[in-house]
């Protein structure tokens, strides 16, 4: 599918407007000198853990525990991420370490 130059410009402007709106809207709705509503404060506390749980479930959704290697690389990588985060408290170190371990396990050890 080919777009005309006008269609391309309209599409770029729409994406730019959507991006800017999502960046500015929280500051417009919740100015710094005003306390946010209780529901927003509550969601700010519970959503990070809920999103992490959802991501773990999503990542493990296709893991077959009934066939070799029985999910061992996945479980070890998840444990490594948890241990690294508990130890260092750094999200990037946790994710990079777990990913590196998982890649090592599936490409070298369980290949």
- Gap between the Cα atoms of 103 and 88, Å rounded: 21
| CA 50 from centre of chain | 11
Average pLDDT of each block of 10 consecutive residues along the chain (111 residues)? 94 98 94 93 95 93 92 95 96 96 95 83
Q: Flag whether the pTM goes above 0.75.
A: no
Give the DSSP letter of residue 62: T
Predicted local confidence at residue 111, as pLDDT: 83
Q: Check: CB of residue 104 under 8 Å from CB of residue 72.
A: no
């Amino acid at each position: 599918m080919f777009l005309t130059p006008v269609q391309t410009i309209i599409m770029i402007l729409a994406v730019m407007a959507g991006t800017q709106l999502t960046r500015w809207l929280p500051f417009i709705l919740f100015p710094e000198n005003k306390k946010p509503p209780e529901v927003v404060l509550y969601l700010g506390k519970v959503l990070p853990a809920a999103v992490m749980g959802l991501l773990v479930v999503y990542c493990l959704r296709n893991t077959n525990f009934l066939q070799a290697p029985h999910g061992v690389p996945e479980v070890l990588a998840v444990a490594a991420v948890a241990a690294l985060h508990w130890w260092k408290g750094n999200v990037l170190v946790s994710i990079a370490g777990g990913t590196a371990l998982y890649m090592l396990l599936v490409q070298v050890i369980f290949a």
